[in-house]
Amino acid sequence: MDQTMELGFALKNAWLILALPFFSFLIVGLFIRPLSKRAAGIVATLAIFLTACFAYRLAYEYFFTLPGALEGIHKAFVPWSVEWLRYQENMVVSLGILTDPISVMLMVVVTTVSSLVHLYSTGYLHGEDGYGRYFTYLNLFTFSMLGLVTAPNIVQMFVCWELVGASSFLLIGYYYDRPSAVAAAKKAFIVTRFADLGFLIGMLILGFFGFQFFGELPASVTQGLQPFDFMFLTHPEVGAKFLAQGGSFLGISLVTLSMILIYMGAAGKSAMFPLHIWLPDAMEGPTPVSALIHAATMVVAGVYLVARMFPVFAVSGDALLVVAYVGAFTCLFAALIGCTQDDIKRVLAFSTLSQLGYMMFALGVSSFENPLGYTASMFHLFTHAFFKALLFLGAGSVIHAVHSNSIWDMGGLRKKMPVTHVTFLIATLAISGIFPLSGFFSKDEILSAALESGHTNIFVVGLVVAGMTAFYMSRVYFVTFWGKHRTEGAHHAHESPPVMLIPLIILAVFSIFSGFIPFAHFVSLPSPHGGEGAAHGGIDLAVALPSTAVALLGIGLAAFFYSGDTSRIEALSKSLGVIYTTIKNKFYIDEVYLFVTHKIIFRFIAAPIAWFDRNVVDGGVNLSAWGTRKAGSGLSRTQTGQVQTYGSWFVSGVLGILLVLWILSFERH
Amino acid sequence: MGLVSWLVLLPFLTTVAVVLTPASKSRNIRWVAALGTGAHLLLTAFVTWKYWQAASPDFPSMKTALATKLYLVERMPWFESMGIQYFVGLDGISMAMIILTSIIIFTGVMASWNVEVRTKEFFALLLTLVTGVFGVFVSFDLFLFFVFYELAVLPMYLLIGVWGTGPKEYSAMKLTLMLMVGSAFILVGILALYHVSGTHSFDLITLGQATYDSDFQRWVFPMLFVGFGVLGALYPFHTWSPDGHASAPTAVSMLHAGVLMKLGGYGALRIAVYLLPQGAQYWGLFFMAVTTINILYGSFGAITQKDLKYFTAYSSVSHCGFVLFGVAALNMMSFKGAIIQMFSHGIMTGLFFGLIGMVYGRTHTRIIPEMGGLAKVMPWLATCFYIAGLASLGLPGFSGFVAESSVFLGGFFGNPWHDITAMRILTLLATCSVVVTAVYVLRGLAKVFAGPITDAHFEHLTDATLTERISTGMLVATLAVVGLMPGTLINLIESSVYPLVNRLHAIGGKF
Amino acid sequence: MGENLVSFLEKTPDVSHWLVLSSLLFSIGLYGLLTRRNAVGILMSVELLLNSGALNFILFNRFISPGNIDGQVMSIFVIAIAAAEVVVGMAIFVALFQQRKTVDVTQMNMMKG
């Protein structure tokens, strides 16, 4: 960072972006919540709105006022940092804020969605017992998420990574008296924790090599940095050293290994197959939480992490391939399941999985030679945040009205809930990739990236899934808003209060227009040799036409099957038989996990260890005590209590000793 | 009489005051104990400030020091003919431990506000015990150290035997006997050091200047390490811990798991590693392997436990494994991590046992499957329990993360004396425990506090009282302060960790 | 052996004769101490032991260093202690007899392990 550069207010005081939500969390949680629930909600919401304004200001300064910004050159720098944790010399973790295009972009996304969700929640959770608690958690989440996106080093990333996990845990388990919610919260935490183990180990490996290279590299590279800093780890010289000196383990180079481990963490957070199982269950949380955490922000943290570490991933091409193929597989897999689910939130959850798959494989197919995927992935992350949050909030609005999650309990709501209906329709079209809504642009870019990079198979998957996405989203839309009222709840449904509708409208506006942002101008892969990568935007007709065609086909199919009576789809699902039930049961992956944890780990590891400890180890202790006692009682028999016997022993002892001495005295002569 | 002596004398005087208070007035006894320990907290704050003033100018020079530097030292001859002295002082590590103990005993007294049986004897013994603990942490003469060490261990027998629950006599006897075996090892080790050093002194600093040949170090190091390890729940000498903790009354569990188990790690680091660096280099990898078993075994053992106290005791076995693991890994980060873990685990497990006591006092059961939905009726306790649980699974923002990440990094970075691949594999195995910990902590918490209320008489239970809120609130705040600002603790201990590492490098050599 | 014994007995008495006497006394006392069942008998045996000790003091005083009187002083001490011991011992036995109606020491095995 050039010292002479003039910084604006927001960049100069960048710490505020973390301080505002953090202190709001503390104050609301400790002081306001016990006094008044209502006030807690209002203060928490205001604080996040303030943070959002600050983030906009910061983004404006970063993208428009810095030198070179208007030419599309956005340098990464750390406007604020303090020493936080000193492991040892040259191994210091600081708490700071890194501004680069993707972090600033995500600050905007997070604060926007978060503030809207806060506002929406004041209506959605009105009158509930845990109102104050809810807003405390929500503030904590926002703080942690902002800490995550602004992290200048991998340890701060990990710290906030865990904190978002914990706040997600708390929010999923918000209805703590409901066993399913508690189980879902537990599952989400444990699965992501398992993935984080990979992250942690990857971090240890990176930390070790980073530390080693840190001492070997010239000061021009290490100036003002620490081994854990992203700016150091992603430096091309470090990458080169990694390749040269990293060594290998079991035939896999260590850099690939560490990146795959880091990716494991990312896959856990972003719910990539086979660590996706927590996300559908996480829908037990209140719907605004699902919108914020499990659709727009936290789940994209994995994508963000891969993007952050992209230069290191690029060093190891194999790791990127893993990212690409796991992403593409999840994309298809989740879309398949999404077509069969009945719970509106679960459909949305699987669609999130599928969209995250898009983002991941977009990153996986890109490279420094072919940087379009990077931009496309971030672009899709950006647009997806808005339309998916909108879908969830819309779903929340419907659930609020109907008091059920099942789409088959709804129906015919388009007249009763006009605002919800229109916004939901916009979001559905956006996610389906219909021109000119935002999803069209970003998905189009991802597909072009896959095609251009030569991964034709992934491109085909992407194209197919685009059609499936359109199909299952339209299915939800038709079943929910068209047809007849299927239940009493749907019959008595009425439109939600304005605090819930305003966020919907704002998000709808974003969903319509965010596609027109010249995204490549702001976010593109920094090329390893300074300067900017040659990413380009614009519509590629060779991709746009087929993708629009499959999307329209998907919508048409959904309309054919679901807009009127549903006998056709029943016949179809019946004819598919086992395949249908397998998909509907999510390929029985949950059951496999349950089997492994309960049957194998608990029964064959934990229980035997507990038994072993109580019986063998502790048995050894008791055995030695028993032995001592037995020896004692055995020897005590010799104690007759007769002093004369003792005396006789004594005298014979003395005589014996004398005898020995006497004999010895012979030997001496 | 200097400040450091007051650290030991104040709890002793409080004991005397408790003894002099009429037994019939249990209220007064509690207040005397609370005032005494509260005053100790203030004294500790003052001493910390004094220590900081005295020590901070020396911090830069400690980076290359070979001997630990003590502050606020008091020295006077005791048994001159044998070279025994009254020698107390403070360095960063002992300062951290003093702070820990002071917090735990204060909160422990707060948590035992409702002890009604033989109140006077209870508090008198508790304070005697804590006098011993403070004594251990300030004494730098090994004889004095041992005297205080025994003083800290013995009252436990009566405290568990008289005020405990369940098979209390058995547990008390087992605990005392096993710890005595450990003490015997320590005593032999100390005497061996005394004789072989030829210094005619028990003074740690003087002993540190003597040279010991490597054969001697190889023999005595495991003796001392295992001796202290018994108190630090070293596998397979940990079995006193589940029974002992389960039977002990609340404050005793808090003090025992929170502080006494730390004497093990403290002694291993301060005496075994400090005096016998070559022994440590010889045995390091072996003990790393043993403590890895500790870590994994404890956490797996905790999964199936039904009793909340057994559950926490096994988790303590796992967490104390990190302390000894850090000590055995022999480098800067692992030592730091071990000390922070001692502090962190002390606070955390104190909080755990305190909370278990409070919940037990209301539900009259500690069996996890019998409880459910308690968060509804006792939100404060539930919140604190969740915080303790999240801290124990190493959630960043609480002190556990700082400690565990340091230990992991230390283990992974390795040291010059051991095969780095072996150390890394052990570290990675130990790392796996973070997942297992998450599993058992969340399962336990979910069962006890979440879900619908399982028993009708739970409906009318009350939330924490004022003293309970003070007690738990203080512990939670400490966890968060260290977790959010780890610099506070690191700055305090760092200068005293350097000599330990420097000695290892200076008195190096491979076998 | 036979001639040795005869020549020993025919010699004029010197220290060795007296030492044999003292040893005999000690052995008789020891035998009595270990075998008598009556407490009073045991007490008497103890007296024999003490007297053999006292005799040794006088003997060595007389034959080794006739110039001073240390041995004689010690023997007077022994006599005094013996008297005291008898007093205490008898008192204990009387007390025991009052309680247990016997002074048979084989009955007193309360220290049996």
Residues A385-441: tens digit of each pLDDT: 999 999 999 988 888 888 888 888 887 788 888 888 889 899 998 888 888 888 888
pLDDT in tens, A103-136: 999 999 999 999 999 999 888 888 888 888 889 9
Helices A16-27 and A37-60: crossing angle in degrees, nearest 10, is 180
Q: Is the peptide bond before B236 cis (omega within 30 degrees of 0)?
A: yes
The number of distinct structural domains making up chain C is 1
Phi and psi of B84, rounded to 5°?
-95, 135
The mean pLDDT value for A465-477 works out to: 88
Residue A21: C-alpha distances to residues A25, A90, A413, A507, B288 (Å): 6, 31, 37, 22, 42
Inter-chain CB proximity C112 and A639 less than 8 Å: yes
pLDDT in tens, A435-453: 888 888 888 888 888 888 8
Mean per-residue pLDDT of chain C: 87
Domain limits for position C98: 2-104
Inter-chain CB proximity B438 and A211 less than 8 Å: no
pLDDT in tens, A3-39: 445 778 888 888 888 999 999 999 988 888 888 888 8
- Please indicate, yes or no, if residue C13 is contained in any of the structural domains: yes
Residue B384: C-alpha distances to residues A92, A243, A395, C106 (Å): 31, 47, 34, 68
For every residue of A506-528, DSSP letters joined together read HHHHHHHHGGGS-HHHH--PBPT
From chain A, the residues in CB contact with C108 under 8 A are 641
CA closest to A644 among chain C residues: C34
Confidence of residue B351 (pLDDT cuts 50, 70, 90): very high
pLDDT in tens, A609-637: 888 888 888 888 888 888 988 998 888 88
Instruction: Tell me which residue of B269, B289, B290 sits closest to B332, measured CA to CA.
Output: B269
Confidence of residue A532 (pLDDT cuts 50, 70, 90): very low
For chain C, which chains pass the contact test of at least 3 CB pairs under 8 Å? A
The mean pLDDT value for B455-467 works out to: 82
Only one residue has tokens 């200047």, namely B209
From chain A, the residues in CB contact with C113 under 8 A are 635-641
pLDDT in tens, B11-35: 999 999 998 988 788 888 889 999 9
**The dihedral sign for the CA sequence A343, A438, A302, A100:** negative
| Nearest neighbour of A640 by CB, restricted to C34, C35, C109 | C109
What type of residue is A480?
Answer: T
Residue A533, pLDDT above cutoff 50:
no
The whole-angstrom separation of Cα A428 and Cα A431 is 5
- Token pair of A401, please? 């009205």
For an interface test with A, the pick among C23, C28, C92, C112 (most A C-beta atoms closer than 10 Å) comes out as C112
Q: Can chain B be said to touch chain C, i.e. do they have 3 or more Cβ pairs within 8 angstroms?
A: no
Q: What is the dihedral of CA A34, A37, A43, A46, to 10 degrees?
A: 160
Residue B511, pLDDT above cutoff 60:
no
Inter-chain CB proximity A617 and B236 less than 8 Å: yes
Inter-chain CB proximity A197 and B402 less than 8 Å: no
CB under 8 Å, gap of 24 or more: what pairs does A528-537 form?
A528/A236, A528/A239, A528/A311, A528/A368, A529/A236, A531/A73, A532/A72, A532/A73, A533/A368, A533/A371, A533/A374, A534/A371, A535/A371, A535/A372, A535/A374, A535/A375, A536/A372, A537/A375, A537/A445
Cβ-in-10-Å burial (0-12, 13-18, 19+) of C109 comes to middle
The CATH number of the domain where C36 resides is what? Answer: 1.10.287.3510
For chain B, which chains pass the contact test of at least 3 CB pairs under 8 Å? A
pLDDT of A251 reads: 67
Say how many Å lie between the first and final Cα of chain A, rounded.
96
Q: Is the peptide bond before B11 cis (omega within 30 degrees of 0)?
A: no
What is the phi-psi region of residue A494: left when phi exceeds 0, alpha when psi lies from -120 to 50, beta otherwise? Answer: beta
- Please indicate, yes or no, if residue C109 is contained in any of the structural domains: no
pLDDT in tens, A46-71: 999 999 999 999 988 888 888 777 77
Interface contacts A/B by beta carbons within 8 Å: 130
- Please indicate, yes or no, if residue C71 is contained in any of the structural domains: yes
Residue A227, pLDDT above cutoff 60:
yes
CA of residue A118 relative to chain centroid, distance:
20
For residue B326, give how far its alpha carbon lies from the nearest alpha carbon of chain A (Å).
13
- Please indicate, yes or no, if residue C113 is contained in any of the structural domains: no
Cβ-in-10-Å burial (0-12, 13-18, 19+) of A228 comes to buried
Q: Do the strands A91-99 and A77-88 form a parallel or antiparallel pair, or are they unpaired?
A: antiparallel
Q: What is the ipTM of this complex?
A: 0.90
The whole-angstrom separation of Cα A533 and Cα A373 is 11
pLDDT of B131 reads: 93
Residue B39, pLDDT above cutoff 90:
yes
Residue B370, pLDDT above cutoff 70:
yes
- Token pair of B458, please? 């739970």
| Nearest neighbour of B438 by CB, restricted to A193, A605, A606 | A193
Helix (H, G, I), strand (E, B) or coil at A449: helix
CA closest to B406 among chain A residues: A87
For residue B41, give how far its alpha carbon lies from the nearest alpha carbon of chain A (Å).
24
The whole-angstrom separation of Cα C72 and Cα C69 is 5
The whole-angstrom separation of Cα A47 and Cα A59 is 18
What is the number of other CB atoms lying within 10 angstroms of the CB of residue B488? 11
pLDDT of A536 reads: 52
Q: Are the C-beta atoms of B275 and B190 separated by less than 8 Å?
A: no
| Nearest neighbour of A641 by CB, restricted to C34, C35, C112 | C112
Residues of A contacting chain C (CB within 8 angstroms): 635-644, 647-648, 651
pLDDT of A1 reads: 44
Q: Do the strands B71-79 and B84-90 form a parallel or antiparallel pair, or are they unpaired?
A: antiparallel
For chain A, which chains pass the contact test of at least 3 CB pairs under 8 Å? B, C
pLDDT of B375 reads: 83
Q: What is the dihedral of CA C15, C17, C19, C23, to 10 degrees?
A: 180
Name beta bridge partners: A83. Answer: A94
The whole-angstrom separation of Cα B82 and Cα A475 is 90
- Token pair of A408, please? 């088959």
pLDDT in tens, A326-372: 999 999 988 888 888 888 888 899 999 999 998 998 888 888 877 88
Inter-chain CB proximity C33 and A642 less than 8 Å: no
Phi and psi of A532, rounded to 5°?
-115, 150
Q: Is A30 on the interface with B (CB under 8 A)?
A: no
From chain A, the residues in CB contact with B434 under 8 A are 193, 196-197, 200
What is the number of other CB atoms lying within 10 angstroms of the CB of residue B312? 30
For an interface test with B, the pick among A193, A203, A600, A605 (most B C-beta atoms closer than 10 Å) comes out as A193
**The dihedral sign for the CA sequence C33, C36, C40, C41:** negative
Inter-chain CB proximity A636 and C113 less than 8 Å: yes
Q: Are the C-beta atoms of A349 and A283 separated by less than 8 Å?
A: yes
Inter-chain CB proximity A641 and C106 less than 8 Å: no
From chain C, the residues in CB contact with A647 under 8 A are 33-34
Phi and psi of A94, rounded to 5°?
-110, 160
The whole-angstrom separation of Cα B143 and Cα B204 is 10
Q: What secondary structure, in 3-state letters, does B124-143 show? A: HHHHHHHHHHHHHHHECEHH
What type of residue is A546?
Answer: P
pLDDT in tens, B286-330: 999 999 998 988 888 888 888 888 888 889 999 999 999 999 999
For every residue of A383-417, DSSP letters joined together read HHHHHHHHHHHHHHHHHHHHS--BGGG---HHHH-
The mean pLDDT value for A235-253 works out to: 76
Say how many Å lie between the first and final Cα of chain B, rounded.
46
CA closest to B433 among chain A residues: A197
- Token pair of A246, please? 């990293």
Helix (H, G, I), strand (E, B) or coil at B343: helix
Inter-chain CB proximity C30 and A651 less than 8 Å: yes
Inter-chain CB proximity B412 and A186 less than 8 Å: no
